Amino acid sequence: MTSVRPERPRRAIPALLFVVGALLVALLVYGVLRQAPDSTIDDTLAAGRQIPARSFELELLEPGRALGALRAPVERASADGRVGISELRGVPVVLNFWASWCGPCREEAPRLQRAWREQARPAGVLMLGLAMQDVTSDARAFVREFAVTYPNVRDPTNQTARRYGVTGLPETFFISAAGQIVGHVVGVISERQLTQGIAAARRGRGSRGTQRW
């Protein structure tokens, strides 16, 4: 008489595959979330509220020149060859994320330099460029090509961009003297957006509260 083979192991196989599949999906979701940029800033701006600027301390790429009244705070912040956003507290800041390999950044660069010279610097608002994932020599060549005279820092990684929720280049953040983000522009910035953002950074609030343009 031939004995009957137990069926329990066979029924256990699909259950085991299900568990393994669920674990793989969970790991995939976890990995995506780990790599996804932080969207908290935009969520807060969309709700009409301000949010503290994300901290960073990065290598000074170019110190800028003809800074006028902003020379002293910039020199204090960059005395050790690095600049932290918290070291600029008390000064409104226009923070622009860019890279030399970014085509739209080339379109935007002359507009930013003109706004710095004609609007931001005379109003006591500092423009600060942040070159990300860029070779130092290429980034400096970009600054020279477009005759950029405001200071720039460099992040060889994308860590700062992720903390700010940056999803592409260029992107610009307007930060009040109190260190609060009061506006954000995704993509190539217009002259109108620059004028609004510089005014918002100086006032410490957007024209209708905090906003994303």
Residue 187 is part of a domain; what is its CATH number?
A: 3.40.30.10
Residue 105 CB burial class (10 angstroms; 0-12, 13-18, ≥19): buried
Number of domains in the chain: 1
Q: Cα(68)–Cα(208) distance, rounded to whole angstroms?
A: 31
Classify residue 134: in a domain, yes or no: yes
Token pair belonging to 164: 């700010």
Q: Is the pTM of this model over 0.75?
A: yes
Q: Confirm whether 21 is domain-assigned.
A: no
Residue 135 lies in a domain: yes
* 70-106 pLDDT per residue, tens: 999 999 999 999 999 999 999 999 999 999 999 999 9
Nearest to 91 by CA among 205, 199, 177: 177
State the residue for tokens 């170019």. 62
Residues of the domain holding 198: 40-212
Of the pLDDT bands very low, low, confident and very high (cuts 50, 70, 90), residue 46 is confident
What band does 179 get if pLDDT is binned at 50, 70 and 90?
very high
